Amino acid sequence: MARRDKLRKDTDYETRFHCAGGIGTLREEVWVNEKDEVVRYNLALVLAHRSKVDKGRVLGYDNAHGIHERHFMGEVTVFPYRGFPATAKRFYREAEEIRRSYED
């Protein structure tokens, strides 16, 4: 991973939304290197009313510890990283499935 002082935060997005049972938060943070390559990221779906573990994060993907991890309801697993666009697509698809699973 690139040195942190050479990284630039490219995306810092957070939105709150109303959903069944309470308020949810969707967060996306992305850092890039001097070549605009994604080198660090954090994607999170927080539904504190659905889970009390992991500060309410029910789903997340990040590489904060130098490995690519998937967080789901307090459980952490390593996943095969195929690039940030594929990871983001997977995250948003799963987040939508979670939302639909209890709002329909």
Q: Where are the domains of the chain?
A: 4-99
pLDDT in tens, 37-65: 999 999 999 998 888 888 899 999 999 99
Q: What is the pTM of this model?
A: 0.89
CA–CA distance, 76 with 26 (Å, rounded to integer): 19
| Of the listed ranges 7-16, 22-31, 48-57, 79-88, the one predicted with least confidence | 48-57
- The percentage of the chain sitting over the pLDDT mark of 70, rounded to a whole number, equals 93
Residue pair 61/69 in contact (Cβ under 8 Å)? The answer is yes
CA–CA distance, 61 with 17 (Å, rounded to integer): 20
The whole-number pLDDT of residue 35 equals 95
CA–CA distance, 54 with 94 (Å, rounded to integer): 18
Tokens 């697993």 belong to 77
CA-to-CA dists, residue 76 to 11, 47, 57, 64, 65, angstroms: 24, 17, 11, 13, 12
Q: Give the confidence band of 21 by pLDDT, cuts at 50, 70, 90.
A: confident
